[in-house]
Amino acid sequence: MTARESTYDVVVVGAGHNGLVCAAYLAGAGLRTLVVDNRDRVGGMADTSEPWPGVRVPTLAHTVGRLRPQLARELKLRSHGVRLVQPAVRVFAPQPDGRSITLRSDVALTANALASNDLVGPRDAARYADADRSLRALARGLARLHAQVPPEIASPSIADAVGGLRTALAARARGGASDAGLLHAMPMAVRDLVEEWFESDALRAVIAARGILLTGLGPRMPGTAGVLITDVAGNDAGLAGQAVLARGGPGALSAALAAAARSAGAEIRLGSSVAQVRRQADAVRGVVLESGEEINARVVVLTLDPKTTFLKLLEPEVAGPRLSWRASNIRQSGITAKVNFALSGLPSFPAAADDPRRLRGRILIAPSMVYLQHAADAAKYGQISEEPLIEATIPTLLDATLIDEKRAGAVRHVLSAIVQSAPYDLREGTWTERREGLGDTVARVIEQYAPGFAALVEARQVVTPLEIEGDYGAAGGHPMHAEVGLDQWFAWRPLHGYGRYRMPLSGMYLAGAGAHPGGGITGAPGQLAAREVLADLRAARP
Amino acid sequence: MGARGAEKYDAIIIGGGHNGLTCAAYLARAGWKVVVLERRHILGGATVTEELWPGFKISVASYVVSLLRPEIIRELDLPRHGLEILPVDGTLTPLDDDYLWRVDDHGTTRRELRRWSKRDAEAYDEYSVLMAEMARFVKPLLGSAAPRLGTQDARGLAALAGFARRFASLPESQQTTFIQLLTMSSADFVSQWFETEPLRATLASSGIIGTFLGPRSPGTAYVLLHHYLGELDGEYRAWGLPRGGTGRVSGAIASAAREAGAELRTNSPVARIVTREGRAAGVVLENGEEIAAQAVISSADVRVTLQRLLEPGTLPPESEAAISNYKFRGSSGKVNFALDRLPTFTCLPPGTTDVYRGMVSISPSVDYLERAYDDAVTGRFSRQPYIDIGFPSAVDPSVAPAGKHVMACFVQYAPYDLADSDWNSQREAFGDTVQATIAKYAPDFPDAVLHRQVLSPLDIERTFGLSEGNIMQGELLLEQLFAERPLSGAGYGTPIRDLWMCGASTHPGGVITGAPGRNAAMAVLRAGGRRGRGRQPADQEQAA
């Protein structure tokens, strides 16, 4: 009982990118802010690790192009060392027969190439620019929703009603050629949306893959168009998608966010797990660490997944049976795995033989709509896809800092692969038994598109949903904390009544991917939650 | 008899299905001179009963009712016109060596559920109450044009504000449920309450009806709710059979329309809608007869109405594109049987007979339904389909010869587009699959079959004029519901002045509700005043 005790204004639990963003804003507003994380480095899932000597990999996330530009400016991330690179090629999608589709930052150049690509042809090529504009128009409407705290829809106030009207107007943002308003497009199946734009099955698949990536949804499922639009909201992804890498990997971005938070005055304590949120009546008082140390604070910001937040960190008598039951039904079972390969050379994709620069963006194994469908179907039955959807990057093509040649031995390149379906809830076997089988599957599939790949593999790291749960603290192993879908979206993410960052205890907030506007490295939940914390503190001031 | 030829009608209604007839009845009651033009030799559309085999009166398409709006029954005085609904009691889900059987009697169902799961038995009451509350909440949305987010006109804003107020007054748990019903999959939705697999599956199966989605696809929870909207004698989720077959529903509405002065013509297929100076001016029948009217109201689906019956080029290109993108994707078939005797479900205790007064649902697990869907996605009918079975003759002996029976099977999935084949060659194979699937649970069934009628989506399209055989005149997808159905913000209007729609393609969609017909009539009346002649040009409810 002699444990230490210290006092802050705010404790942020979790030093992932959202926690750091939130802390940077709160400390910047003059609040004494402490960030605690049980891992030994900052960043959470925006992580760079060194699994083999001299070889650093983007452990989970590999692109960072969704980060909100406004936030990057306000937190002066450039001066804290962030260097972002985006290659001209956004995505390269090979077919097993050696043909491929390449989408570039330059829309006109892309359309030109598509016109003479026999997988696509002039008709779709002529529509490409229009479709790109449509998607961006839809995304602009959504970005407006993403930039603000959702309205209180349970009992709307006048301010909310006005906001709602603005929201409604945003929802009417027209999509151009398809003339589909956001309200019409969000609930659509991504397959239907891309069919409105294009006839080429291969091109449809390249676009539609982003409607299901990191979700348990298939391309025919309603709401997947919304996932695609979300991917474009607030950034420059467009139809081709973003392929922004941080020099030094996503962990370098996290390090810059940590530097921004520290320079604003925040303190970051690693290797410290929170055991309990302390409260007095219905207000938070701080947290207790596993070490027994008590930290007093009038504000506790959590960036953990919502189930853990509601069911583990709230005492059952605070949550009550109704809320506990609702929280237990939050869908947050992951379906995505990550496989990182250390390679002795650059894999040779015959489809990119003419121009290896095609490999600098995202490399997408999604050769057809049926392929996407089947890859997603496996998740419905708790199976690992034999032919998974793969989004890979070779960050070493753009970032020489990842390999320390003196220590890396034969390793020259890293291939980072996001893989699905690889469901957390397996019907047969356990992830411990099946981990390496997944690595084999991914190597085998890439081999089909890049013969000789297997021979280049020096080492391999398989991160299953089990590790995403265990190492990154996301119960259910979902990279977005809570499943993506219209039922866990906007003002009702993670739960209706808790969509405005405030948790059931006064002074307790949720600022992670389980809060609006959701997962992905945007920083938006952390930023918006900070805004609400400050608003509440201002209102409480006598 | 009504006037023909040169004499002008106030309104022509294309299609004598239950919605067309409902619309006609309301307009005629308002004093309009109305003619209904039905393509087939009988009225009723998909709400029809035909004596396919001597003594066997088959409700060919639609086979149960519950969703018919009570205000329509009341206002059109349908009981006086011969409508009598007999209750259907219970749903049996047969399994290989067990069953789940829920009936109207609360105590019996509770005991049965407790046999499976005490937790589920507890949750069932809560769930039933909640769904009734949801039906009550949604009900006012069905009885009028849907409010549109972002609308500018006063009526629309008032409707939106009213809806927001009603939503805000719901308890938070019900607000949550309403959001979930709009956005979730039916399997996820029901799994929040229940752990018993056949219960999950059978409840979730209501969410796939008429859609090209599996029970794990988001959006199906709304379809589930759609099937809870029924209300018989004030009781929600009560299903019934009209005495004499579902044709009696349209028969009663037709009788009410006729009594109000509407003229109802069968064997009158419309070849095209005539437009003059951008307005609908009448129709031309396939036999060349031209009929003029102040307004044309079509109960056919949006594709038939605006693409097949209009001259190409009449519509603005954006509307053409929107209609082309409107999704039908018929996914269901119907197999009707005439039986020598009722089949015996071997999972039930011997001698059980009261099961035939209810429905039998072949939906043993969510995976079973999902795999049935997977087949459809690959372009073939389900090898092991979902089947909803009714025995109308067990409730209403008048529809079969003494001692004989009729059996109705609604089947999913039967995709309109088959991958490597066509429905003309697959029709009987599909019927055989349905028969074999039922025989697994009732081995004596095949021997009891006297006659069989198989309706593929192609047959449904050909017989009833429903595009791609979609029984809802377009899928009940979130982007095709409320103000988005069928064209964003158009309501019951179309881009062509004086051309309206009143079928299931419009809000609130398919199933025998009569709501599209009644709502359309109200919209037309509002636009045109009490009498057709000399009325004002249509207001902004005519489409943007």
Q: What is the pLDDT of residues A4-39, one digit of tens each?
A: 789 999 999 999 999 999 999 999 999 999 999 999
On whether both A118 and A200 belong to a single domain, the answer is: yes
Q: What is residue B235's predicted lDDT score, i.e. its pLDDT?
A: 56
Please tell me the distance from the alpha carbon of residue B194 to that of residue A222, in angstroms, as a whole number: 24
Is residue B422 in some structural domain? no
A213 Cβ neighbours under 8 A, 6+ residues apart: A227, A231, A336, A389, A391, A418, A420
pLDDT mean over A312-330 = 94
pLDDT band at B299 (very low <50, low <70, confident <90, very high): very high
- The total number of structural domains that make up chain B: 2
Range of the domain at A134: 106-232
What is the pLDDT of chain A when averaged over all its residues?
94
Is residue A473 in some structural domain? no
pLDDT band at A154 (very low <50, low <70, confident <90, very high): confident
Q: Which long-range contacts (CB under 8 A, 24 or more apart) does B322-325 make?
A: B322/A179, B322/B487, B322/B488, B323/B486, B323/B487, B325/A178, B325/A180, B325/A192, B325/A196
Percent of chain A at pLDDT exceeding 70 = 95
Q: Could you report how far apart the first and last alpha carbons of chain B are, in Å?
A: 38
- A188 chain-B contacts, CB cut-off 8 A: 477, 479
On whether both B479 and B513 belong to a single domain, the answer is: yes
Is residue B80 in some structural domain? no
Q: What is residue B142's predicted lDDT score, i.e. its pLDDT?
A: 83
Chain-chain contact of B325 with A155 (C-beta, under 8 angstroms): no
The burial class, CB within 10 Å (0-12 / 13-18 / 19+), for A209 is buried
pLDDT mean over B255-273 = 98
Is residue A488 in some structural domain? yes
Is residue A178 in some structural domain? yes
Cis amide bond preceding A465, omega within 30: no
Q: Hey, is A264 helix, strand or coil? A: coil
Residue type at B217?
Answer: S
On whether both B233 and B151 belong to a single domain, the answer is: yes
Last residue of one domain, picked from the residues A232, A261, A293 = A232
Chain-chain contact of B217 with A322 (C-beta, under 8 angstroms): no
On whether both A191 and A140 belong to a single domain, the answer is: yes
pLDDT mean over B504-508 = 95
On whether both B178 and B273 belong to a single domain, the answer is: no
On whether both B133 and B183 belong to a single domain, the answer is: yes
Q: Cα angle at B113 between B107 and B118, to 5 degrees?
A: 105
pLDDT band at A375 (very low <50, low <70, confident <90, very high): very high
The CATH number that applies at residue A489 is 3.50.50.60
Last residue of one domain, picked from the residues A169, A203, A232 = A232
Is residue A65 in some structural domain? no
pLDDT band at B67 (very low <50, low <70, confident <90, very high): confident
Please tell me the distance from the alpha carbon of residue B5 to that of residue A465, in angstroms, as a whole number: 73
The per-residue pLDDT for range B142-176, each reduced to its tens digit, is 887 777 766 667 777 788 888 888 999 999 989 99
Is residue A251 in some structural domain? no
Minimal Cα distance from B150: which residue of A? A168
Tokens standing for residue A430: 């356990």
pLDDT band at A3 (very low <50, low <70, confident <90, very high): low
Question: Which of A362-376, B149-163, B430-444 is predicted with the least confidence, judged by mean pLDDT?
Answer: B149-163
Is residue B460 in some structural domain? no
B459 Cβ neighbours under 8 A, 6+ residues apart: B423, B427, B469
Please tell me the distance from the alpha carbon of residue A14 to that of residue A42, in angstroms, as a whole number: 8
Is residue B254 in some structural domain? yes
Is residue A371 in some structural domain? no
Is residue B118 in some structural domain? no
The CATH number that applies at residue B17 is 3.50.50.60
Largest CA distance in chain B: 70
Radius of gyration of chain A measured on its C-alpha atoms: 23
Q: How many CB atoms lie within 10 A of CB A263?
A: 15
Chain-chain contact of A381 with B150 (C-beta, under 8 angstroms): no
Percent of chain A at pLDDT exceeding 90 = 92
pLDDT band at B4 (very low <50, low <70, confident <90, very high): very low
The burial class, CB within 10 Å (0-12 / 13-18 / 19+), for B424 is exposed
Interface test with A, best of B181, B476, B478 (most A CBs within 10 A): B478
Last residue of one domain, picked from the residues B240, B271, B304 = B240
- A326 chain-B contacts, CB cut-off 8 A: 173, 176
Min Cα distance B179 → chain A (Å) is 7
A499 Cβ neighbours under 8 A, 6+ residues apart: A150, A153, A490, A491, A492, A493, A515, A516
Is residue B352 in some structural domain? no
Q: What is residue B531's predicted lDDT score, i.e. its pLDDT?
A: 47
Q: Hey, is A365 helix, strand or coil? A: strand
The answer on pLDDT for B210 being more than 90 is yes
Please tell me the distance from the alpha carbon of residue A397 to that of residue A360, in angstroms, as a whole number: 6
The answer on pLDDT for B529 being more than 80 is no
The per-residue pLDDT for range B319-359, each reduced to its tens digit, is 999 999 999 999 999 999 999 999 999 999 999 989 999 99
Higher pLDDT, B201 or A163: B201
Whether the CA torsion B171, B176, B182, B188 is positive or negative: it is: negative
Q: What is residue B6's predicted lDDT score, i.e. its pLDDT?
A: 52
A208 Cβ neighbours under 8 A, 6+ residues apart: A190, A191, A193, A194, A219, A224, A228, A366, A369, A372
Chain-chain contact of B213 with A220 (C-beta, under 8 angstroms): yes
On whether both A224 and A279 belong to a single domain, the answer is: no
Q: Hey, is A102 helix, strand or coil? A: strand
- B212 chain-A contacts, CB cut-off 8 A: 220
Q: What is residue A152's predicted lDDT score, i.e. its pLDDT?
A: 84
Helices (H) and strands (E) in chain B, counts: 18, 20
Please tell me the distance from the alpha carbon of residue A435 to that of residue A454, in angstroms, as a whole number: 17
pLDDT band at A234 (very low <50, low <70, confident <90, very high): very high
On whether both B133 and B184 belong to a single domain, the answer is: yes
Strand partners, B58: B50
pLDDT mean over A464-486 = 96
- The total number of structural domains that make up chain A: 2
Model's pTM, two decimal places? 0.94
- Please state the length of chain A: 542
Question: Which of A266-270, A443-447, B85-89, B265-269 is predicted with the least confidence, judged by mean pLDDT?
Answer: B85-89
Tokens standing for residue B408: 């109705």
Smallest Cβ–Cβ distance between A171 and the set B150, B168, B176 belongs to B150
Q: What is residue A176's predicted lDDT score, i.e. its pLDDT?
A: 40
On whether both B270 and B223 belong to a single domain, the answer is: no
Q: What is residue B122's predicted lDDT score, i.e. its pLDDT?
A: 96
Chain-chain contact of A331 with B377 (C-beta, under 8 angstroms): no
On whether both B219 and B133 belong to a single domain, the answer is: yes
| Nearest partner of B336 among B410, B442, B244, B440, judged by Cα | B410
Tokens standing for residue A389: 């959807």
pLDDT mean over A66-95 = 97
Last residue of one domain, picked from the residues B240, B274, B294 = B240
pLDDT mean over A342-363 = 96
On whether both A199 and A136 belong to a single domain, the answer is: yes
On whether both B234 and B131 belong to a single domain, the answer is: yes
On whether both B230 and B281 belong to a single domain, the answer is: no
Last residue of one domain, picked from the residues B206, B240, B274 = B240
If you write DSSP's letter for every residue of B113-130 in order, what string do you get?
HHHH-HHHHHHHHHHHHH
Chain-chain contact of B164 with A377 (C-beta, under 8 angstroms): no
Please tell me the distance from the alpha carbon of residue A225 to that of residue A238, in angstroms, as a whole number: 14
- A496 chain-B contacts, CB cut-off 8 A: 172, 175-176, 179
Is residue A302 in some structural domain? yes
The answer on pLDDT for B69 being more than 80 is yes
Is residue A356 in some structural domain? no
Per-residue DSSP letter, A409: T
On whether both B287 and B318 belong to a single domain, the answer is: yes
Range of the domain at B31: 9-48+246-326+468-528
pLDDT mean over A324-352 = 97
Is residue B518 in some structural domain? yes
Question: Which of A13-17, A59-63, B232-236, B372-376 is predicted with the least confidence, judged by mean pLDDT?
Answer: B232-236
pLDDT band at A175 (very low <50, low <70, confident <90, very high): very low
On whether both B157 and B221 belong to a single domain, the answer is: yes
On whether both A116 and A191 belong to a single domain, the answer is: yes
Is residue B168 in some structural domain? yes
The answer on pLDDT for A177 being more than 50 is no
The per-residue pLDDT for range A188-216, each reduced to its tens digit, is 999 999 999 999 999 999 999 999 999 99
SS3 labels along B235-251: EECCCEEECCCCHHHHH
pLDDT band at A541 (very low <50, low <70, confident <90, very high): confident
Q: What is residue A464's predicted lDDT score, i.e. its pLDDT?
A: 98
Residue type at B263?
Answer: E
pLDDT mean over B215-236 = 80
ipTM greater than 0.90? yes
The answer on pLDDT for B530 being more than 60 is no
pLDDT mean over A448-462 = 98
Chain-chain contact of A222 with B164 (C-beta, under 8 angstroms): no
A→B interface, C-beta within 8 Å: 153-156, 161, 164, 168-169, 171-172, 177-181, 183-185, 187-188, 192, 196, 217-218, 220-223, 322, 326, 329, 331, 373, 377, 380-381, 485-487, 489, 492, 495-497
Tokens standing for residue A128: 């490409």
Q: Hey, is B530 helix, strand or coil? A: coil
On whether both B156 and B187 belong to a single domain, the answer is: yes
- Number of A/B CB contacts below 8 angstroms equals 102
Chain-chain contact of B374 with A153 (C-beta, under 8 angstroms): no
